[in-house]
Amino acid sequence: MKKAFYSLLALVFINLSASATYTESTSNGYSSPISDTNLSFEASVSGESVKTSWDTFTKDEDNFIYYKIIRSQKNSSPVYPDDGYIYYTTDINTNSYTDKSPLEGTTYYRVCAITSEKERYCSNVVKIYYSDDGDDSSDSDSQVCIQKTQAAIEKSTGKCKVFSTPCDIPSGWKQVEKCENTSNQDSSSLSSSIKEKLDKLLANFVIKLESKYSENSKRISALEKLIKELEKITKKNIKMKAMVNYLIEKIELKIESYQDDFGNLESIFQNIID
């Protein structure tokens, strides 16, 4: 039953990919980015620098060429070569880099391992907010936002909500382990292995989506269409509801992150001028 469900899910994602006109080979000559969570990329503010580290690439080490560290303030899922790079090394055993010239404001960091086969294995993204006001107290305005969901309760109402990152939690809210008594609570019955498979399936879809579209409105439209397709599955097979609800919850968080992205404001201002 589960194998049939994963096959059905894969078909949904493939169909959505086709409707979004993705191609396995992009216009820059590289294959579509592949999500590699084993790289376990980390980044943090340290004084006037941003320190990054990652685990050694193991997916296709025989064809490894180099690591590329990418950062972007416009793309929440930066990739090489689309968003350039700030550092590279051909040593597969190198596992760290310090950005000594971090950008003011919010910046997205990640590492991609590039192979001779033009494959791009890209890590998780880390969102950094850095502010330098010119004195020693600047560190107090700097924070690291790891791309990991975090549940929180609003103190005044008791309302519980899952945020895209801990840094998205507004004042007046308190972090909690999870939200109880939510409509998607049945997803908590899923095993860790099933959640891992679902996360990987969605992560690969999102990385292709963000590589294809730079406009958040188009990304949101594709994800909303994906939700509708997933909801059709539960109508046909109620037993799969927990898995679908888990995916939809993740997708809604992604949509929310696009809606809150500062890039939307930049686009509005630019469109007025144009």
Largest CA distance in the chain: 61
Domain residue ranges in the chain: 1-27+184-261, 34-146, 148-182
Fill in the amino acid letter for 40.
Answer: S
DSSP, collapsed to helix, strand or coil, labels residue 164 as coil
Phi-psi sector, 29: left (phi>0), alpha (psi -120 to 50), beta: left
List Cβ neighbours of 59 (8 Å cut-off, separation of 6 or more): 34, 36, 38, 113, 121
DSSP helix, strand, coil percent of the chain (3-state; round to 5): 40, 25, 35
**pTM for this structure?**
0.51
For residue 102, whether the previous peptide bond is cis, meaning omega lies within 30 degrees of 0, is: no
CATH code, 34-146: 2.60.40.10
With contact defined as beta carbons under 8 Å apart, do 110 and 70 qualify?
yes
Strand partners, 150: 163
Q: What is the pLDDT along the chain (274 residues), one digit of tens a residue?
A: 455 555 656 656 655 554 443 334 456 788 888 989 899 999 988 888 999 999 999 999 999 999 999 999 988 889 999 899 999 999 999 999 999 999 988 899 999 999 999 999 999 989 888 876 543 333 334 455 655 667 788 877 777 887 766 667 777 788 787 776 544 445 666 788 888 888 888 888 888 888 888 788 788 888 888 888 888 877 666 567 788 888 888 888 888 777 655 554 555 555 555 5
